[in-house]
Amino acid sequence: MARVFHDGRIDTAAIKAIEDEGVPAKSAVVNYLAGSFEIRQSRFSSAARYLQTALLYQPDQPFILVDYAEVLLQLNRDSEAVSYAERAARADPQMADAFTTLGYAYYRNNRNGDAIAAFKKSLALRPNPTVQELIARVQRESTTEAEFREQESSHFVLRYEGSKAPDALRRELVTVLESQYTNLQNDLGASPRETISVSLYTNQEFFDVTHAPAWTSALNDGKLRIPISGLASMSPALGRVLRHELTHSFTSQITHEHVPQWLDEGLAQLEEPLSTAGMGRQLAALYGSGQEIPLNRLEDSFLSYSADQAAVAYAESLAAVECIREKYGMSDLSRILQRLGEGQPIESALRSTIHEGYAQLEAELGEYLKNRYAH
């Protein structure tokens, strides 16, 4: 199969030639390998096409079914992923990965009981601490939300405990979310394919379910998790929290979860909307003295940070995105997300849109903060 790959690229003509030989197993393998290659490059739409073709030749091959289901989850095609993960588990009942993928697909579709059962089957076949944690996480959520009710709108499923989420608050909240959805669609040029799940908690329930750090005011882990203790109606602060967390759903969809944290959090703050004005002088001083956290160290989750570290990380993220918008416009921020969704690394995505990598962006950001706040 080496002839299919040249200089880090897929030779589509070679794949076609192999398919023309008329050997289904061989055609399935070559398309599966091409799909796996595209997965490693984070090019999930292309990977889906190759894997779908592989399944035409071998529709019951569990490895192909599992990978295709996982790619569908990356593409936020959650409801489609379930049927392929179920087929994988039926095709090979001894394949732990099939049940892990099936459990996660069920979870993404709010089928928590089925998710726990699938994860337990996976664990019985092969011990895995990650799966064990997934079981604990889904069980915490299921216990907390056992008596929750549901309310649906065009783009959202709201889950709540009736006595703790007044009717007026829920009505306002859904209206605000739908309005924000439209605005984000206009700003970012795309929208999530699936209905977005929103769970409303007391403060204690929120931390019991998420195990998030104390400085966290809400969370989006594929579902919007919002603490609303003491609120009887919408407040400006809650509106900003909703807009922030909803932005993450959009960036996740556009980039297939292939987005550095600084860009994700910077955009979410920009959309609230926030500005760097409140921390401008401190940020200018930080960059002026060379004590900032480099952006390439802000690519992963901030959840392990202390409150002070998180404050700096969020402020720098907002400053970087604000700087890009001020100089290049919202359209280029949207294009950066699109490039990431095509599988480009962040440096390539920056260079193909604003024509500068991290080093130039850092220098430009320092100048931006100095000119605006260092006086």
**What are the pLDDT digits (tens) for 344-373?**
999 999 999 999 999 999 999 999 999 998
Are 168 and 212 contained in the same domain? yes
Residues 17-46, mean pLDDT to the nearest whole number: 93
Residue that terminates a domain, selected from 111, 144, 177: 144
Are 130 and 37 contained in the same domain? yes
Residue that terminates a domain, selected from 144, 171, 195: 144
Are 216 and 96 contained in the same domain? no
Are 210 and 269 contained in the same domain? no
Question: What pLDDT, in 10s, does the model give residues 123-176?
Answer: 999 999 999 999 999 999 999 999 999 999 999 999 998 788 889 999 999 999
Are 169 and 69 contained in the same domain? no
Mean pLDDT of the chain: 93
Judging by beta carbons within 10 Å of its beta carbon (0-12, 13-18, 19+), is residue 161 exposed, middle or buried?
Answer: middle
- Residue 331 falls within a domain, yes or no? yes
Are 123 and 158 contained in the same domain? no
- Residue 71 falls within a domain, yes or no? yes
pLDDT score for 291: 92
Residues 267-288, mean pLDDT to the nearest whole number: 94
- Residue 294 falls within a domain, yes or no? yes
Inter-residue contact 223 to 150 (CB < 8 Å):
no
Are 287 and 358 contained in the same domain? yes
Question: What pLDDT, in 10s, does the model give residues 196-238?
Answer: 999 999 999 999 999 999 999 999 999 999 999 888 889 999 9
Greatest distance between any 2 Cα atoms in the chain? 73
Are 271 and 369 contained in the same domain? yes
Are 219 and 305 contained in the same domain? no
In the predicted structure, residue 375 carries a pLDDT above the cut 80: no
Inter-residue contact 179 to 189 (CB < 8 Å):
no
Position 8 confidence tier, pLDDT thresholds 50, 70, 90:
confident
Are 7 and 140 contained in the same domain? yes
- Residue 249 falls within a domain, yes or no? no
What DSSP string runs through 18-55? HHHTT-HHHHHHHHHHHHHHHHHTT-HHHHHHHHHHHH
Residue that terminates a domain, selected from 144, 175, 198: 144
Closest CA to 369 of 299, 322, 310, 309: 322
Domain that holds residue 298: 261-373
Inter-residue contact 92 to 63 (CB < 8 Å):
no
In the predicted structure, residue 255 carries a pLDDT above the cut 80: yes
- Residue 128 falls within a domain, yes or no? yes
- Residue 242 falls within a domain, yes or no? no
- Residue 253 falls within a domain, yes or no? no
In the predicted structure, residue 316 carries a pLDDT above the cut 90: yes
pLDDT score for 283: 94
In the predicted structure, residue 3 carries a pLDDT above the cut 90: no
Does this model's pTM top 0.85? My answer is yes
Structural domain count, the chain: 3
In the predicted structure, residue 2 carries a pLDDT above the cut 70: no
* Preceding amide of 273 cis, omega within 30: yes
Sign of CA dihedral 91, 92, 93, 98: negative
Are 101 and 165 contained in the same domain? no
In the predicted structure, residue 86 carries a pLDDT above the cut 90: yes
Are 88 and 216 contained in the same domain? no
CATH number at residue 137: 1.25.40.10
In the predicted structure, residue 193 carries a pLDDT above the cut 90: no
- Residue 255 falls within a domain, yes or no? no
Position 1 confidence tier, pLDDT thresholds 50, 70, 90:
low
**264-282 exposure pattern, b = at least 16 Cβ within 10 A, e = fewer:** bbbbbbbbbebebeebbee
pLDDT score for 194: 87
Percent of the chain at pLDDT > 90 equals: 87
